[in-house]
């Protein structure tokens, strides 16, 4: 796809210069959390600039010139594009984003493709330190890029459907205004039938409606001859009832004029006494334009009903107090209720109890601003939570006013985000917590807790002599060994490499019991290990507590090795 078509795709997706949206921020946060890189963006590469739809970590910047854009290179790649150290890459070493703030050293970007194959931007990560992503992190970036592309297309479809709904309402309003104007501008002709002389009189406008001119005055028979046979019999019956019984009439029928125009007319008539003579007096109006407007309204309403019924989007209407007045089949299916169980019920009653205040705030916003967007939580018929990303508008000209709601079910996406967040906090090999768990301990400055630090002895020899596959197996087996004696709230953290940390509540007896258990069952471990422990002191930094456990581990290892090899000095490291 050439550059012109690519720019058209960006325009179709309606992304540039739009406000932040939580779903894109969540995707960037997941990527940033999973890799540990400090800055994350979803960029749109426009003609002269790259603009950021989502931005975490690059505060104060919403766009950059395209000529210094890393993402311009990324969208030209078929796979993930990574620059491990920009200072060593001649393409970027003199880039002002490298030489000045934010001093980018490590860049990772993957192109975001549209449904039509255009690469419109990237999901990218930046860091002031050089580095390389692991295979699992690269795979996660590819997966998140696919998720971002799907969300972009779902967002585009949602905006299009909302636009169609708005256009439909505008068309209905225009049709109603047009009908009012034609009524004001309509000219009405008059007629009279003298029952004594059987003479018919037409006004000038009546003659104009019939397509005749001059002094033409018809008989009753010739007047009725303008109507088609089926309409003529209706008119004759109405006239005769009025003559015999005095019953007035108002009829809309088609007719053909003298100048061969097929039109619709509204004919009204009644019996009156005029100057001592019984006469039929009435009016005729060309309602062809009015009929056309009515047909257009009917066709427009039919289109609206089809959109409402068959749309895959979730469409509903509710009053300003939140009472549902209509729901389409897609919305009914999303929640699993019958339509009768939803219409007439407050939308707030379908929400979790802890979200009712948020619903009241939503009603206040839409009453004030006449539009609102966001994500709401609902409880389905099965008791599970559903998440709807909505964009609602208030039709204030309706009587009474009502809210037209259009939403997309994003429950699966929210669940996927939750899984990704959980995966980002776990070591993919051993399923232990990773170093991000330590942020929780950072917050427990004055709390009581303790830790056991473990380091595998001579682990490098296992990798060198038996291979990394065996080394990975040993790590997994050792993590299982560490979990065996732990209680529910005690966790294992893989600090990296062959270092593990067991975190537990602080009672000294429990710490001593665990130390004893690990020493007693050391033979059951897949490889020898060294161990150190420390109790956290109130006010002490996390790093200091772990350092004390590390110091004890080192001293214990040195003492054991000295006992085993008294002629050798202890190692200087572990």
Q: What pLDDT was estimated at residue 457?
A: 92
CB 335 within 8 A of CB 378: yes
* DSSP 8-state symbol, 539: T
Angle at 16 between CA 12 and CA 20, to 5 degrees: 120
**Are 478 and 456 within 8 A, CB to CB?**
yes
- Over range 358-362, report the average pLDDT: 89
Least confident piece of the model among 75-79, 158-162, 163-167, 405-409:
163-167
CA 476 to each of CA 126, 140, 343, 432: distance values in angstroms, whole numbers, following the listed order: 31, 22, 54, 9
Which one has a higher pLDDT value, 398 or 127? 127
Mean of all residue pLDDT scores within the chain: 87
What whole-number distance in Å separates Cα of residue 320 and Cα of residue 400? 9
C-alpha span between 223 and 205 (Å, rounded) = 15
Looking at residue 77, its pLDDT comes to 94
Q: Which of 285, 284, 283, 276 is nearest to 195 (CA)?
A: 276
Q: Assign 567 a pLDDT band (cuts: 50, 70, 90).
A: low
Residue 546: CB atoms within 10 Å: 20
pLDDT band at 183 (very low <50, low <70, confident <90, very high): very low
The larger pLDDT score, comparing residue 18 to residue 274, is at 18
Angle between helix axes 135-185 and 3-13 (nearest 10 degrees) is: 70
Checking if the pLDDT of 85 tops 70, the result is: yes
pTM equals 0.36
Sheet holding 529-535, edge to edge: 491-496, 499-505, 449-456, 529-535
- Residues recorded for the chain: 574
Residue 566, pLDDT > 70, answer no
Q: What's the confidence (pLDDT) of residue 507?
A: 76
Which distant-in-sequence residues (6+ apart) come within 8 Å of 284 by Cβ?
188, 189, 190, 191, 206, 209, 265, 266, 267, 268
Identify the pLDDT of residue 167: 78
Determine the pLDDT at residue 22. Answer: 93
**Beta bridge pairs of residue 453:** 501, 532
Decide if 399 contacts 375 (C-beta within 8 A): no
Q: What is the pLDDT of residue 573?
A: 43
- Give the separation between CA 116 and CA 5, rounded to whole angstroms: 10
* Positive/negative CA dihedral, 279, 280, 283, 284: negative
pLDDT 10s digits, 502-537: 999 877 889 999 999 999 999 999 999 999 999 998
pLDDT (average), residues 460-474: 92
All residues at 6 or more sequence positions from 435 whose CB lies less than 8 Å from its CB, including other chains: 493, 495, 496
- Closest by alpha carbon to 426, among 418, 416, 435, 417? 435
pLDDT of residue 454: 96
Structure confidence at residue 182 as a pLDDT band (50, 70, 90) = very low
Spatial CA neighbour of 109 closest among 135, 158, 145: 145
* Measured distance CA(3)–CA(115) in Å, rounded: 16
pLDDT average, residue stretch 166-186:
59
pLDDT at 6 over 50: yes
Query: What are the pLDDT digits (tens) for 285-333?
Result: 888 888 877 777 666 666 666 666 666 677 889 998 989 998 888 888 8
Judge contact between 132 and 105, C-beta under 8 A.
no
Q: Where are the beta strands (DSSP E) in 448-514?
A: 449-456, 491-496, 499-505
pLDDT tens sequence across 201-248: 998 888 989 999 888 888 888 888 999 888 888 888 999 999 899 899
Beta-sheet strands, E only, within 371-472 = 371-379, 385-395, 402-409, 449-456
């Amino acid at each position: 796809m050439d550059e012109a078509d690519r720019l058209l795709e960006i325009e179709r997706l309606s992304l540039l210069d739009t406000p932040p949206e939580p779903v894109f921020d969540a995707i960037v946060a997941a990527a940033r959390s999973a890799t540990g890189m400090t800055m994350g963006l979803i960029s749109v590469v426009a003609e002269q600039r790259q603009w950021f739809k989502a931005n975490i970590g690059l505060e104060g910047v919403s766009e950059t010139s395209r000529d210094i854009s890393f993402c311009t290179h990324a969208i030209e790649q078929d796979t993930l594009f990574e620059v491990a150290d920009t200072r060593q890459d001649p393409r970027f070493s003199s880039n002002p984003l490298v030489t000045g703030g934010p001093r980018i050293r490590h860049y990772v970007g993957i192109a975001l493709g549209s449904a039509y194959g255009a690469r419109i931007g990237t999901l990218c990560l930046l860091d002031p330190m050089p580095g390389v992503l692991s295979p699992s992190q690269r795979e996660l970036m590819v997966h998140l890029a696919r998720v971002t592309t799907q969300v972009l297309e779902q967002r585009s479809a949602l905006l299009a459907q909302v636009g169609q709904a708005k256009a439909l309402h505008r068309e209905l309003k225009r049709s109603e205004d047009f009908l009012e104007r034609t009524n004001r501008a309509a000219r009405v002709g008059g007629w009279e039938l003298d029952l004594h002389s059987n003479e018919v009189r037409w006004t000038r406008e009546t003659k104009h409606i019939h397509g005749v001119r001059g002094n033409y005055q018809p008989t009753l028979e010739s007047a009725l001859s303008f109507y088609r046979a089926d309409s003529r019999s209706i008119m004759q019956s109405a006239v005769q009832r009025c003559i015999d019984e005095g019953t007035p009439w108002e009829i809309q029928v088609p007719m053909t004029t003298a100048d061969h125009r097929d039109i619709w007319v509204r004919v009204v008539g009644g019996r009156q006494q005029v100057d001592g003579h019984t006469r039929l007096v009435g009016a005729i109006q060309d309602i062809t334009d009015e009929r056309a407007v009515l047909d257009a309204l009917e066709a427009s309403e039919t289109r609206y009903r089809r959109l409402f019924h068959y749309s895959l989007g979730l469409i509903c209407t509710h009053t300003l107090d939140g009472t549902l007045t209509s729901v389409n089949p897609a919305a009914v299916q999303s929640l699993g209720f019958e339509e009768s169980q939803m219409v007439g019920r407050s939308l707030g009653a379908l929400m979790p109890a802890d979200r009712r205040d948020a619903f009241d705030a939503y009603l206040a916003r839409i009453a004030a601003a006449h539009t609102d967007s966001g994500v709401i939580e609902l409880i389905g018929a099965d008791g599970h939570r559903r998440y709807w990303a909505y964009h609602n508008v208030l039709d204030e000209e309706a009587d009474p006013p009502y809210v037209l709601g259009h939403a997309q079910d994003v429950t699966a996406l929210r669940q996927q985000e939750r899984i990704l967040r959980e995966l980002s906090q776990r070591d993919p090999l051993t399923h232990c917590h990773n170093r991000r768990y330590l942020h929780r301990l950072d917050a427990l400055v004055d709390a009581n807790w303790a830790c056991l630090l473990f380091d595998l002895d001579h682990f490098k020899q296992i990798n060198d002599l038996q291979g990394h596959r065996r080394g990975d197996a040993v790590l997994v087996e050792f993590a299982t060994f560490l979990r065996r004696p732990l209680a529910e709230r005690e966790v294992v953290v893989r600090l990296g490499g062959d270092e593990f940390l067991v975190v537990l509540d602080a009672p000294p007896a429990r710490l001593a019991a665990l130390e004893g258990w690990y020493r007693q069952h050391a033979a059951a471990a897949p490889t020898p290990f060294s161990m150190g422990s420390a109790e956290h002191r109130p006010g002490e930094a996390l790093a200091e507590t772990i350092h004390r456990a590390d110091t004890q581990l080192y001293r214990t290892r040195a003492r054991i090795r000295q006992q085993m090899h008294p002629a050798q000095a202890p190692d200087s490291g572990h």
